[in-house]
Amino acid sequence: MKRILLIEDDESLASLLAHQCTERGYDVDIVHDGLQGLHKAQTQSYDLIILDLYLPSLDGIELLRRFRRENPDTPVLILSRRDSELDRVLGLEIGADDYVTKPFSSRELFARVSAIFRRTSSHEKEGGEQYQILSFGDYRLSRAERTFSHKGRSIELTAKEFDLLTFLVERKGRVFSKSELLQYVWGYTSSAYEHTVSSHMNRLRAKLGQDGKELLQTVWGVGYRFLLTPSSVQATQEIEQEAA
């Protein structure tokens, strides 16, 4: 049975959603306070966290930031009355897997919940079927441990940065548009979120240092691709020689 943590200060809404979760076969815990919600999320295991942004003691954005520092993989779905593109993009960029604006229909909400569970199940299945370690140049990406390193030095990635990099590395050389990456990595079909793809790509390049723009290439007017070029390999070799 899937376990859901619902962090929502509106007690009547929380009660309604909890009832609907139970009807669909989910086990649900309810918390109405931000700090209490963070504590419960960090000390218990959940398959999904549904998070309101307006919470007493600790707002949802800060709660998510703190939670993601040590829990990069647990899916989080944000509920909010903030419906601007900037708010949605911010929520996704700090680690949410989906963003639902209030008011919403229960049909829409639970369709998104089901989609998140399908994606996580698919990732788990792929992890058992494909290579657990992906290596390129001096970089090492572990699917099982969800870690990324360069010459043995750990590089911290957010959950979506890891998913995006893994997706592109596994499909080396193939060009994907922003809308395709949104669909395959985030599970979205709306172009309203395309800016978050660019933001994640820029952060990934920065974390890859001088190799970033060569490994994660922009194909102007089309999209992005991962490509291990001879010059990027040479660059890492030169760094090793200098260090020696």
- Verify that 142 and 235 share a domain, yes or no: yes
Q: What CATH number is attached to the domain comprising 35?
A: 3.40.50.2300
Any alpha helices (H) in 27-177, and if so which ranges? 34-43, 60-70, 85-93, 106-129, 159-170
Q: Omega of the bond prior to 103 within 30 degrees of 0, cis? A: yes
Task: Return the pLDDT at 187.
Answer: 77
11 and 103 share a domain?
A: yes
If you write DSSP's letter for every residue of 187-201 in order, what string do you get?
A: ----GGGHHHHHHHH
Q: Are residues 21 and 120 in the same domain?
A: yes
Rounded to whole angstroms, how far apart are CA atoms 227 and 213?
Answer: 10
Q: Which of 80, 111, 127 is the last residue of a domain?
A: 127
Crossing angle of helices 106-129 and 11-23, rounded to 10°: 50
Instruction: Please report, for the domain that includes residue 163, its CATH number.
Output: 1.10.10.10
Give, for all 244 residues of the chain, the pLDDT tens digit: 899 999 999 999 999 999 999 999 999 999 999 999 999 998 888 999 999 999 999 999 999 999 988 777 789 999 999 888 888 888 888 889 899 999 999 999 999 999 888 877 755 555 444 457 888 888 999 888 889 999 999 999 988 899 899 989 988 888 889 988 988 888 776 666 788 899 999 999 999 998 999 999 998 888 999 987 544 444 434 333 444 4
**CA neighbor of 149 nearest in space, from 167, 160, 136:** 136
Computed over its alpha carbons, how large is the radius of gyration of the chain? 19
Same-domain check for residues 106 and 67: yes
pLDDT score of 156 = 92
Domain count, the chain: 2
Provide φ and ψ at 8, rounded to 5°: -150, 125
Q: What is the pLDDT of residue 4?
A: 96
Measure the CA–CA gap between 96 and 75, rounded to whole angstroms.
Answer: 7
Range of the domain at 169: 130-243
* pLDDT value, residue 29: 95
* Residue 236, pLDDT score: 39
- Regarding whether 12 and 116 lie in a shared domain, the answer is yes
Tell which residue, 93, 105, 87, 84, has the closest CA to residue 20: 105
